[in-house]
A and B are shown apart, each in its own frame.
Chain A
Amino acid sequence: KNQVEQSPQSLIILEGKNCTLQCNYTVSPFSNLRWYKQDTGRGPVSLTIMTFSENTKSNGRYTATLDADTKQSSLHITASQLSDSASYICVVSALGFGGGADGLTFGKGTHLIIQP
């Protein structure tokens, strides 16, 4: 069964600090991995998409890494800001629609709180 596990479930850090969120998956065959940011009361917004051959991808202060061998990904946030407070969702796409007709398996997200 395709699964995506995220850790930690929640995280509180001080403004200006860095943090790293983890994503482990068992989705197969793998197509790509995405990180989304979901602000409270809003829909998810795409941060990065990485395919099998990509190890690192950055989007401003967000840097995602992918290790397709160990089936792990991380999202590193540098110099956190109050606006980074949100849920961060890891989504893995399977070839052949292994996770619903959209082929996507969603993690439950990491709830990040940035404190001033």
Chain B
Amino acid sequence: NAGVMQNPRHLVRRRGQEARLRCSPMKGHSHVYWYRQLPEEGLKFMVYLQKENIIDESGMPKERFSAEFPKEGPSILRIQQVVRGDSAAYFCASSPVQGGRDSPLHFGNGTRLTVT
């Protein structure tokens, strides 16, 4: 019973390149959340998606960042023209019900993005 799968685990990009982070939720989960974590900082909400729908992207920068969760396949967090400040750990979490308020979120092990 696989958990939330994220890949790659580590990603190195030069400034100006594109980064694509993938997340496959737990089986049966249709809600996906993306978070960013900087060293010594708490997890920061970025975006909440359901299949083929972005429910809320209020935590995601308006430029260069986008996310999708297609009908088939993993959720993708895409960062265009990366800058050094994008270096962070990006975590994906999934839940079977809306909002995650009453059920634990299941987290993947993250993708560590390093921008050189």
Contacts from A to B (Cβ < 8 Å)? 4, 31-32, 34, 41-46, 49, 89, 93, 95, 97, 99-104, 106-109
Contact = CB atoms under 8 A, between A and B. Distances in A.
B55 interface: yes
Contacts of B41: 108
Contacts of B44: 106
Given A101-B45, A102-B48, A43 B101 contact: no
Interface stretch (B65-73, B78-86, B106-114): B106-114
Interface of B: 4, 6, 33, 40-45, 47-48, 55-56, 58-59, 91, 93, 99-102, 104-110
A12 B48 CA distance: 36
Contacts of B40: 108
B56 A101 contact: yes
B113 to A, nearest CB: 14
Given A101-B48, A104-B45, A43 B108 contact: yes
A60 to B, nearest CB: 16
B58 A44 contact: no
A89 B43 contact: yes
Q: Which of A34, A102, A107, A108 counts the most B-chain CB atoms under 10 A from its CB? A: A102
B109 A102 contact: no
Nearest to B56: A101
Given A102-B33, A106-B44, 20 more contacts: A31-B102, A32-B101, A41-B109, A43-B108, A43-B109, A44-B107, A46-B104, A46-B105, A49-B104, A93-B102, A101-B55, A101-B59, A101-B99, A102-B105, A103-B101, A104-B101, A107-B42, A108-B41, A108-B42, A109-B42
